[in-house]
Amino acid sequence: MRTVFADLRYAFRVASRTPSFAVAVVGVLALGIGANTAIFSIVNAVLLRPLPFEEPERLVRIFTRTPGGRLFELSPGKFYDWQRDAQSFEGMALYQCCGFRELALTGTGTARTVRATAVSAGFFEIVRARPALGRVIRQEEDTPGGKYVVVLSDRFWRTEFGGHPDVIGRTVKLSDEAYTIVGVMPATASVASWTGMASDVWIPLALTDEQRAARGNHNRYGVARLKRDVELAQAQAEMDAISARLAREFPQTDGRGWEAVVIPMQEEIVGNSRTMLLMLLGGVGLVLLIACANVGNLLFTRALSRRKEIAIRFAGAARGRVFQQLLTEALLLAVAGGVLGLLLAYGTLTSASTLLASQVPRAEEISIDSAARHTRTACYCRDSRDRSRAAGRRYPDDAGGARRATGVPAVKRAAARSLRRSRAAARRSGSPQRPLVYRARTQPRDRDQTCAWRAESRCPSAGDRRGHVTRARRHRGRNNRRARVGEGD
């Protein structure tokens, strides 16, 4: 652990000696990582993250296709025929189309408008949205003569009733009609990009018999849930067969090319945004690759300018130790660039939240989560290889084939020869060997010049000077021992 801290301190010193280089590397990485994190956060929320319902992949929308090929709303008469004859679905439900129904809220203070969605019985069971309090709308309440009941959203419950759990059974006046509160939905059930689950309150659809039989009035939306063992293609084939049969029975309203269409819920919500988001993701991915290539070139150029320093380090330390130091320097820059990139992504998404809400579905769910924080670091590994190549090391993907340590610079060989000669001279003189810490900044020429590098323990290759110092030390030690013996007598 002490070695790691020492490497970090040295990496900080190296970065502080060349601040312009560190700023350039960190800035390029921050731009690449920040752009990728922001776009991937959007793609993850819109395309990859499932809807907040149980088994959302089996949730589908049902439309009518016009003879011109355009998707259109449903008529209640066709819907109830499909609901009766189709066997590929666990259930189907209707809800109002074309936005929300605006109701006037009175009796709780200042009057204001409330967004309401009228749904048929079984709607919440199909969506698998379970209430946090109370229950959902029942079959007997989805009739014109049924009770006026209402299910509240979590936001409306907390805003108007302060989040009190005793709200079940109380009444609320909507457009001069008293509705009994029977349930409260959890916050996770609200999906702003789907009008069926984005309202403040839900009330029964309550169609009359005449409205249920209407086949030419297309003013409702349909939602359904596939059975577990049924694929989307099977359900579509069954709906095509039912539509063909109904076209023969009702040629005036169901004939002339009117068909039923089944579309997955998430695909219908995303719409045409998929292509745009995938193109953006590919574009910022290319930007990240360019940023990594630029950073790699900068680090490789810097490693070439440090060849002498790296060679001297190789002369006195193991290869792994030198590689660890170089890797620490690269990781320090990488972490700094990654942190700054995350901050840029967070600031971009926060400042552009209003614009995204009007342009991208599910914009309220966009956030930087763990999937986006795991940014790519493969480009940083290039730094350690570049520095190693600058020091003379070769890898299997280099030209020349097998992995081997060749092409050692001349300065490294000269330093190694000087170290071996110094150790041999020390053994011949009988003096203890001490580690040499070179302080030179120039390439050695011969043994005497190596001694001029001023090793801490007196260079043993200095010949007579080293021997003179050694004899003087021995003589001084002998006199000291004699003095101590005389004092003892």
Instruction: Report pLDDT digits (tens) over 411-430.
Output: 556 666 766 777 777 666 66
Q: Which amino acid is at 39?
A: I
Percent of the chain residues topping a pLDDT of 90: 30
Distance in angstroms (rounded) separating the CA atoms of residues 59 and 51: 10
What pLDDT, on a 0 to 100 scale, did the predictor assign at position 315? 81
Q: Which residues contact 230 (CB under 8 A, 6 or more apart)?
A: 88, 89
Q: Which amino acid is at 464?
A: D
What pLDDT, on a 0 to 100 scale, did the predictor assign at position 158? 92
Distance in angstroms (rounded) separating the CA atoms of residues 442 and 460: 20
CB 394 within 8 A of CB 404: yes
- Residue with the bigger pLDDT between 11 and 463: it is 11
Q: Where are the alpha helices (DSSP H) in 202-318?
A: 209-213, 232-249, 265-270, 273-305, 307-316
- Residue with the bigger pLDDT between 57 and 422: it is 57
Q: Which residues contact 330 (CB under 8 A, 6 or more apart)?
A: 299, 380, 383, 384, 387
Percent of the chain residues topping a pLDDT of 70: 76
Task: Please compute the mean of the pLDDT values over residues 57-62 and round it to a whole number.
Answer: 93
Smallest CA-to-CA distance from 409 within 394, 395, 392 is with 392
pLDDT category of residue 476 using cuts at 50, 70 and 90: low
The pLDDT tens digits for 372-382 are 444 444 343 44
- Residue with the bigger pLDDT between 161 and 402: it is 161
Smallest CA-to-CA distance from 200 within 224, 180, 174 is with 174
What pLDDT, on a 0 to 100 scale, did the predictor assign at position 66? 86
Smallest CA-to-CA distance from 309 within 12, 14, 9, 2 is with 14
- Residue with the bigger pLDDT between 447 and 163: it is 163
Other CB atoms within 10 Å distance of the CB of residue 310: 23
The pLDDT tens digits for 164-204 are 889 999 999 998 889 999 999 999 888 888 888 889 999 99
Task: State if pTM tops 0.75.
Answer: no
What pLDDT, on a 0 to 100 scale, did the predictor assign at position 413? 63
What pLDDT, on a 0 to 100 scale, did the predictor assign at position 312? 84
Q: Rounded to the nearest 10 degrees, what angle do helices 410-429 and 307-316 cross at?
A: 30
List, in sequence order, every beta strand (DSSP E) within 82-194: 89-96, 101-106, 112-119, 133-134, 149-152, 171-174, 177-184
Helix or strand or coil: residue 96?
strand
Q: Which residues contact 91 (CB under 8 A, 6 or more apart)?
A: 122, 125, 126, 224, 225
Distance in angstroms (rounded) separating the CA atoms of residues 95 and 265: 15
